[in-house]
Structure 1
Amino acid sequence: MSSENAGVLSRIPGLAYIGLVLTPLFWAGNAVVARGTVENIPPLSMSFWRWVIALAILLPFGLPGIWRHRQVIRQRFGSMLALATFSVGAFNTLLYLAATTTTATNIALINATIPIFVALLAWILLGDRTRPIQALGIALAITGIVTVIARGDLSVLTNLQAQPGDLIMVAAVFSWGLFSVLLRRQAVPLPALTFLTTQILLGTLVVLPFYLTDLLFFSGGFELSQSTAMPLLYFAIFPGILAYGFWNHGVHKIGPARAAIFMYLTPVFASVLAGIFLAESLGLFHVIGGALILAGLVLATQTRKHTHYPTPERSAKGDPHD
């Protein structure tokens, strides 16, 4: 998009807010569509082809920047590979694996705790100061996660009956937390589009051997048809590229602290979409767990107004102000 067109768009009243509402809607759709199509498209195929399509769309725009900044990329290759592994490579792959054995609602609720995991890992690994109100928020959010995983029944935990997908989704969120902490420690001085394109390229290469192993020895891949091609296009375009653009524009216009509030819409949208398209029903444990997670997020983030939390669908996109 030209700078002139971008300038025109940036002057449209309310565009940032519209984009910030659409972004969690697209993220929620990522979980719902994955849950609805995971029986037709294996998770590793879903992850690999999502990024191949996104890369094919972005490469014509991002390749010139990669060439211009090739020296920086070469010097910081190790850092960029690690960032791509935890974000592009691991996060969505684990999310799609989780979709095989848990609901879209659970995925979205656990996914909403990303700021909590970022704050917790920043405290553990970077020594960030955690205030008492933030510690309370972290504790409430973790209690909410446990409530969702246990489905409101403690015997689920004591008898080790938790859904594997819930635990895999916790691993996905943990992976994104590691990416976020590494992004702060190993900041790479690249423009946003160049950083994004490089990360998707490296992340796709990370997923490739796992995809080929699954294709040759386990799942056998999938049959390409309209019913399988459309979800892959959705994954690449809406929760990937468009959500990234909307999110970064919103952060630039209203700031990261106010934009972060819109993340809380993701589980709301997911529960509605899952009810409509997947016939998933909300249980009391969803309500209680969701309320604890929301309260924890509010407490844990309200005193961190200047902290910028990378979100999952930014997929290693870097700071929008680069």
Structure 2
Amino acid sequence: MTAKQSSVRSRSLGLAYFGLVVTPLFWAGNAVVARGTVESIPPLSMSFWRWVIALAVLLPIGLPGIWRQRAVIRQHLGSMLALATFSVAAFNSLLYYAAVTTTATNIALINATIPIFVALLAWLLLGDRTRPIQALGIVLAILGIITVVARGKLSVLTSLQAQPGDLIMVAAVFCWGLFSVLLRRQAVPLPPLTFLTVQIALGTLVILPFYLADFVFFSGGFELSRQTAWPLLYFALFPGILAYGFWNHGVHTIGPARAAIFMYLTPVFASILAGIFLGEALGVAHVVGGVLILVGLLLATRAGRPARFPADR
């Protein structure tokens, strides 16, 4: 390896690790900013305009690839519509609805269990073999979710008094799990940028009728101002486009198994940011639930085939 090649590889490796650290920071910020602005921007408006902005940024770059791959896109349009519905449309809209009634810390902790839901659904729907150590990890992570949702109180479960936002976030993570399993079953042979651009375009179209109904009959939309524009730009650029690019570069450079470990930083960053900007305090249930979730993730993801974690969220 020449000195020039070594220098290029060193820079690429440095960028990979930098990107894999800031990507969970961006995802954590998604939950924190959503929680902080959900009273100013209705959830469906938040979801719809986030993707409109992201699409406006990506389309000039992605359109040539869409044109070149139009035959492949046409052939797989049904599969791509289903994938976009569960990921771009459902996952993000549900996450923003969850922010209405639960904390950013809870959102991030539940969101961190995505690999568990992927493994569980892959076992149920694809027949993937699950090792005993993975099954133990899944059980521990589910117990962690229950601890967070129940806020450490059994009476919350027995009296069905869980925060609606926590349950909505569980539904969001379930949707992302379905998306990941469908992505494996119905792989679409498209370059990453083309795939992402088409996914965002289709997902935005899926959200559109729901956004219009919400705008006309329920929320009435929001007032565009500096206070509402900046969060939307953040949603579109950082947890959307930049996270996607950083994550894929990191996975390509150091491999999916090592990259997946960085996902565990998301709830850590979220708890710090939520404490600083939203005044959220960590309780015993958060600590206990978080430890169970993280231990479960380590057991479930390190013991078997690494899951794919697309980053268009």
* Both proteins in one fold, TM over 0.5: yes
Measured against the shorter chain, the TM-score band is over 0.9
Is 1:314 aligned with 2:306? no
Q: Tell me which residue corresponds to 1:223.
A: 223
The residue type paired with residue 80 of structure 1 is M
Q: Tell me which residue corresponds to 1:189.
A: 189
Contact map agreement 2:140 2:293 (CA 8 A) in 1: yes
The residue type paired with residue 278 of structure 1 is L
Cα distance between partner residues in 1 of 2:303 and 2:312 = 23
TM-score (normalizing by structure 1): 0.94
Cα distance between partner residues in 2 of 1:216 and 1:308 = 40
**Structure 1 alignment gaps of length 5 or more:** 1-6, 316-322
| Deviation digits for residues 100-123 of structure 1 (CA, Å, limit 9, x no counterpart) | 000000000000000000000000
Cα distance between partner residues in 1 of 2:295 and 2:12 = 33
Cα distance between partner residues in 2 of 1:13 and 1:105 = 31
Cα shift at 1:307: 2.6
Cα shift at 1:141: 0.1
Contact map agreement 2:26 2:238 (CA 8 A) in 1: yes
Q: Tell me which residue corresponds to 1:274.
A: 274
Q: SS in structure 1 opposite 2:212?
A: helix
The residue type paired with residue 294 of structure 2 is L
| Deviation digits for residues 94-145 of structure 1 (CA, Å, limit 9, x no counterpart) | 0000000000000000000000000000000000000000000000000000
Q: Tell me which residue corresponds to 1:250.
A: 250
Is 1:240 aligned with 2:240? yes
| Deviation digits for residues 19-46 of structure 1 (CA, Å, limit 9, x no counterpart) | 1000000000000000000000000000
Cα distance between partner residues in 2 of 1:187 and 1:141 = 28
Cα distance between partner residues in 2 of 1:49 and 1:314 = 15
Cα RMSD after superposing both structures: 1.2
Please identify, of 63-72 and 33-42, the stretch whose mean Cα deviation from structure 2 is larger.
63-72
The residue type paired with residue 44 of structure 2 is L
Q: Tell me which residue corresponds to 2:132.
A: 132
**Structure 2 alignment gaps of length 5 or more:** 1-6
4+ runs deviating over 6 angstroms:
none
Contact map agreement 2:79 2:186 (CA 8 A) in 1: yes
The residue type paired with residue 303 of structure 1 is A
Q: Tell me which residue corresponds to 1:24.
A: 24
Contact map agreement 2:89 2:206 (CA 8 A) in 1: yes
Q: SS in structure 2 opposite 1:11?
A: helix
Q: Tell me which residue corresponds to 1:161.
A: 161
Alignment of 1:59-138 (within 5 A): 59-138=59-138
Cα distance between partner residues in 1 of 2:84 and 2:10 = 30
Cα distance between partner residues in 2 of 1:252 and 1:11 = 14
The residue type paired with residue 309 of structure 1 is R
Contact map agreement 1:9 1:15 (CA 8 A) in 2: no
Cα distance between partner residues in 2 of 1:13 and 1:128 = 32
| Deviation digits for residues 261-300 of structure 1 (CA, Å, limit 9, x no counterpart) | 0000000000000000000000000000000000000000
| Deviation digits for residues 130-164 of structure 1 (CA, Å, limit 9, x no counterpart) | 00000000000000000000000010000000000
Cα distance between partner residues in 2 of 1:298 and 1:13 = 24
The residue type paired with residue 19 of structure 1 is G
Cα distance between partner residues in 1 of 2:183 and 2:49 = 25
Q: SS in structure 1 opposite 2:280?
A: coil
Cα distance between partner residues in 1 of 2:12 and 2:104 = 34
Cα shift at 1:303: 1.6
The residue type paired with residue 237 of structure 2 is I
Cα shift at 1:65: 0.6
Cα distance between partner residues in 2 of 1:9 and 1:101 = 46
Q: How many equivalent residue pairs? A: 307
Contact map agreement 1:28 1:269 (CA 8 A) in 2: yes
Contact map agreement 2:88 2:312 (CA 8 A) in 1: no
Q: Tell me which residue corresponds to 2:3.
A: none
Contact map agreement 2:118 2:307 (CA 8 A) in 1: no
